[in-house]
């Protein structure tokens, strides 16, 4: 449960250590002189003290005055704020890309300063380095490309991956985010340009989970693209061929997984933005052999379930009433089905043998309308949620969303369709007749233009008593008379960093359903009743680092309970097992990286 006193203590620690004078531990560097200035892991720009300049052969390579970390920080923020001022009134996309560029330049030059400004200004910067701007960056990647980041494994590298993996300069990698670019947010197949997503996700790992940026690895598996526009674009940087399929495809992913596992057996691999068929297939294939999870299926499910439980509390009902909630899920893809599967597990836990009941209350809609048993070529993953046609309020195969909402009067309408605006005025107005006194509307598709509806339209058409969540950020809505319609960001960023962190510090063999459930429950219980009453279902992004400690500890303890924890560095499984809850939280916090300039020590 959320502990306000601990939060106060941890934010105090954070502010006192903001520019603390305590001397951090040394950092070994194997280079000297200009090579250090050109390495963003070690570079301090004008911040190198004179003694260090002498030791590392930097004297004369920098202007003489030493500028402190605080001054560098202030100078960057000043430039950022003046860019904001100077671009006021320009088109949204232009401003967003200008902001991304200034942050990206700092990322390329000085990672310590970059991650410090990111952590301290996460509310302002997350929408720039992550969703929604990251979508625009991926769409324009070939034009924006200046320097490579991460690794690229292509279909042409078949047979070479085992040696290629050793080209990565870091000795140790803890966290890998991998995509094949086939379903980037709601933007479709962006081929190699999808690399922006692993980069953005790993930035959140550093900012929220304190994963050391020298131990992260964004990876693009380029197996071609079916995006005709990209195939014809002469500046496109990926393989100009159609996507590999079947055996050819899976053998590339197998080879990559083997290579990673050989070099870094304890690295965690997060699958991100794979098209549905491969998302499910790879999850089944690897989840028992490697420490891996699929964020779109499993991370999203945990965040959505926490929101669904919050929606029950917001109605003033006991949590056990979750089993009676009528939920319409729009989108039968990896995310929508992931949510339904986890919701069914939750109902089964709450109501004993509640699985059948849950399926009765859950309605699944895809691009062809309501999914029923009459559906031709019914996807086996969707089959458990297909309705008997006509059995419920006479609803037929392919019934439209508005028809379903009017007849079912759901407590919750949840969109993971990738289609902007499918929650039309008529659909939202139909939610006014919901059987819930406080209906919940989740427009979870990304980026902003793909959201099923805007926050403003949701409150305008569905009424002021709704609770609202969206995958991409929206401003709170002014409802007049001093009332505010609260907007929750229902995004998997609230869970994946803690899932990765907990699994890493446990040294987990694999990531089990129990660990994912612990993560979701931790997020759900983080919010106080007082906040829930105001329609707040998720914490503010300001507290994401604090939340992630809690989620990480919950995941770690679940791994220990299931005997999946093999230990991390010099902390063995027995020690993990003997840690109290408080000690686990302390252990997690202690192992989180925080950006400060460490004294650099040269070693040949």
Ligand X SMILES: O=C(O)C[C@H](O)C(=O)O
Ligand Y SMILES: NC(=O)c1ccc[n+]([C@@H]2O[C@H](COP(=O)([O-])OP(=O)(O)OC[C@H]3O[C@@H](n4cnc5c(N)ncnc54)[C@H](O)[C@@H]3O)[C@@H](O)[C@H]2O)c1
Q: Which residues are annotated as a binding site for a divalent metal cation?
A: 272-273, 296
Q: What is the DSSP letter of 377?
A: T
Name the catalytic one among 201, 326, 387, 409.
Answer: 201
Q: According to the binding rule CB under 6 A, does residue 345 interact with ligand X?
A: no
Near Mg ion by CB under 5 A, which window of 245-253, 295-303, 401-409, 515-523? 295-303
Q: According to the binding rule CB under 6 A, does residue 220 interact with ligand Y?
A: no
Q: According to the binding rule CB under 6 A, does residue 179 interact with ligand X?
A: no
Q: According to the binding rule CB under 6 A, does residue 255 interact with ligand X?
A: no
Concerning whether 130 is annotated as a catalytic residue, the answer is: yes
Structural Rg of the chain based on CA atoms: 24
Our CB check for ligand X shows the closer of 213 and 418 to be: 418
Give the number of residues in contact with ligand X, rule: CB under 6 A: 9
- CB burial of 305-343 (b: ≥16 within 10 Å; e: otherwise) equals bbbbbbbbbbbebeeeebbebbbbbbbbbbbbbbbbbbb
CB 122 within 8 A of CB 544: yes
SS3 track for 197-215: HHHHHHHHHHHHHCCCHHH
Q: According to the binding rule CB under 5 A, does residue 296 interact with Mg ion?
A: yes
Near ligand Y by CB under 6 A, which window of 1-9, 26-34, 316-324, 361-369? 361-369
Q: Which listed residue (444, 499, 553, 559) binds ligand Y by CB under 6 A?
A: 444
Binding region for (S)-malate: 183, 446, 491
Residue with the CB atom nearest ligand Y in the bound state: 333
Helices (H), 210-299: 228-232, 246-263, 276-286
SS3 track for 306-349: HHHHHHHHHCCCCHHHHHHCCEEEECCCHHHHHHHHHHHHHHHH
Phi/psi zone of residue 371: left (φ > 0), alpha (ψ -120 to 50 degrees), beta?
A: beta
Q: Which listed residue (134, 490, 510, 551) binds ligand Y by CB under 6 A?
A: 490
- The position carrying tokens 């427009």 is 443
Retrieve residue 116's tokens.
């410090």
Q: Which residues pair with 414 in a beta bridge?
A: 329, 442
What residues from 122 to 141 belong to the interface with ligand X (CB under 6 A)? 131
Q: Which listed residue (255, 366, 403, 457) binds ligand Y by CB under 6 A?
A: 366
Closest separation in Å from C-beta 340 to ligand X: 17
Distance CA(205)–CA(115), nearest Å, equals 11
Closest separation in Å from C-beta 215 to ligand X: 21
Q: How many CA atoms lie within 13 A of 66 on its CB side?
A: 12
Residue with the CB atom nearest ligand X in the bound state: 131
Distance CA(507)–CA(472), nearest Å, equals 32
Q: Which residues pair with 276 in a beta bridge?
A: none
Of residues 158, 139, 137, the one with CA closest to residue 203: 137
Closest separation in Å from C-beta 335 to Mg ion: 8
- The position carrying tokens 């929606």 is 311
What residues from 421 to 460 belong to the interface with ligand X (CB under 6 A)? 446
Closest separation in Å from C-beta 359 to ligand X: 25
What residues from 266 to 285 belong to the interface with Mg ion (CB under 5 A)? 272-273
Report the interface residues with ligand X, using CB under 6 A.
131, 185, 273, 295-296, 446, 471, 491-492
Residues that bind Mg ion (CB under 5 A): 272-273, 296
Site residues (vs ligand Y, CB under 6 A): 183, 185-186, 276, 296, 300, 303, 330-336, 365-367, 416-419, 422, 444-446, 450, 471, 490-492
Which residues belong to the active site?
Answer: 130, 201
């Amino acid at each position: 449960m959320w502990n306000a006193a601990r939060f106060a203590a941890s934010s105090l620690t954070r502010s006192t250590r903001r520019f603390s004078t305590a001397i951090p531990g040394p950092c070994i560097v194997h280079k000297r002189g200009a090579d250090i200035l050109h390495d963003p892991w070690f570079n301090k720009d004008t911040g190198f003290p004179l003694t260090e300049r002498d030791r590392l052969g930097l004297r004369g390579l920098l202007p003489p005055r030493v500028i402190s970390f605080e001054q560098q920080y202030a100078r960057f923020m000043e430039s950022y704020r003046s860019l904001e001022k100077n671009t006021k009134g320009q088109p949204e996309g232009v401003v967003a890309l200008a902001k991304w560029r200034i942050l990206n330049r700092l990322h390329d030059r000085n990672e310590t300063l970059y991650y410090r400004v990111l952590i301290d200004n996460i509310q302002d910067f997350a929408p720039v380095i992550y969703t929604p701007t990251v979508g625009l960056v991926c769409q324009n990647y070939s034009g924006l490309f200046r320097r490579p980041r991460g690794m690229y494994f292509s279909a042409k590298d078949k047979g070479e991956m085992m040696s290629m993996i050793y080209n990565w300069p870091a000795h140790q990698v803890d966290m890998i985010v991998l995509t094949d670019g086939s379903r980037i947010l709601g933007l479709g197949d962006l081929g190699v340009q999808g690399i922006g997503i692993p980069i953005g996700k790993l930035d959140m790992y550093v900012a929220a989970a304190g994963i050391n940026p020298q131990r992260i690895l964004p990876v693009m598996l380029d197996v071609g693209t079916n995006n005709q526009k990209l195939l014809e674009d002469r500046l496109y940087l990926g393989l100009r061929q159609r996507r590999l399929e079947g055996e050819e495809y899976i053998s590339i992913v197998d080879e990559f997984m083997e290579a990673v596992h050989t070099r870094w057996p304890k690295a965690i691999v997060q699958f991100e933005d794979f098209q549905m068929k491969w998302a499910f297939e790879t999850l089944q294939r690897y989840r028992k052999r490697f420490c891996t999870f699929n964020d779109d299926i499993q991370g999203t499910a945990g965040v959505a379930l926490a929101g669904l439980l919050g929606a029950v509390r917001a109605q003033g009902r006991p949590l056990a009433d979750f089993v009676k909630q009528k939920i319409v899920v729009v989108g039968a893809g990896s995310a929508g089905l992931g949510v339904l599967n986890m919701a069914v597990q939750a109902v089964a836990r709450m109501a004993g043998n509640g699985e059948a009941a849950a399926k009765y209350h859950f309605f699944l809609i895809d691009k062809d309308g309501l999914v029923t048993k009459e559906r031709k070529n019914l996807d086996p993953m969707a089959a458990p949620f297909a309705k008997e046609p006509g059995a419920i309020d006479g609803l037929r195969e392919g019934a439209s969303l508005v028809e379903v909402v009017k007849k079912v009067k759901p407590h919750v309408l949840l969109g993971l369709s990738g289609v902007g605006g499918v929650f039309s005025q008529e659909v939202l107005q139909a939610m006014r007749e919901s059987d819930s006194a406080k209906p919940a509307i989740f427009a979870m598709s990304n980026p902003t233009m793909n959201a099923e509806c805007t926050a403003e339209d949701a409150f305008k058409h569905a009424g002021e008593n709704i609770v609202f969540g969206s995958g991409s950020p929206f401003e709170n809505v002014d409802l007049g008379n001093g009332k505010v319609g609260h907007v929750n960001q229902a995004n998997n960023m609230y869970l994946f960093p803690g899932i990765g962190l907990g699994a890493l510090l446990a040294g987990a063999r694999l990531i089990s359903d129990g660990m994912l459930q612990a993560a979701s429950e931790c997020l759900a219980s983080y919010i106080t009743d007082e906040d829930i009453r105001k329609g707040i279902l998720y914490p503010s992004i300001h507290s994401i680092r604090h939340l992630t400690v809690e989620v990480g500890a919950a995941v770690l303890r679940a791994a220990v309970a299931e005997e999946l924890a093999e230990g991390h560095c010099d902390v063995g499984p027995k020690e993990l097992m003997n840690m109290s809850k408080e000690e686990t939280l302390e252990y997690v916090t202690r192992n989180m990286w925080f950006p400060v300039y460490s004294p650099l020590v040269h070693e040949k």
